[in-house]
Amino acid sequence: MIGTALDLIIAALLVLGGIFGLIGSFGLLRLRDAMQRLHAPTKASTVGLGAVLIASAIAGGSWQEVLVTLFIFLTAPLTALYLAKTLIHGHINPSDVPPAANGAQWAAQPPVAQKQ
């Protein structure tokens, strides 16, 4: 009885994980520009992955799922940050970006072109 209930929970979590992974990928197709598309994989997929990891932890009962979670939380923001910095540096019009506080420059923004 308890075994069946556990199986049901594991199955539900796996399905949820699959759905969120699919939504994340679907977002890549649906959203309009590169900045918006950055949101889809870093977000929806996080919960999808989390659901799969919890399912794995229930089924296998290993502590290594905690490690995977930790590494995802450490690396996913870095990937997103570097993609975003690249976009800011070379692909987005500086006038579309609001200025930083205290008149500072954004770190990745190209230097303002000198007036001739």
Partner 1 sequence: MIAKIFPHPYLSLTLGVLWMLLVNRLAVGSLVMATILAIAIPHISAAYWPARPRLVRPMALLGYIGLVLHDVVVSSFAVAKIILFMPPAQIKSAFITVPIDLPSPEAITLLAGTITMTPGTLTVDIAADGRSLLIHSLHAPDQGAIRDEIKSRYEARLKRIFA
Beta-carbon contacts of residue 14 (< 8 Å; ≥ 6 apart) = 51, 52, 55
Among 45, 54, 31, 51, residue whose Cα is nearest residue 79: 45
**Could you tell me the smallest distance in angstroms from the CB atom of residue 69 to partner 1?**
9
| 3 vs 22 by CB, closer to partner 1 | 22
Task: Report the interface residues with partner 1, using CB under 8 A.
Answer: 20, 23, 26-27, 30-33, 35-36, 38-40, 42-44, 46-47, 50, 62-64, 66-67, 70, 73-74, 76-77, 80-81, 84-85, 87-88, 96-102, 104-109
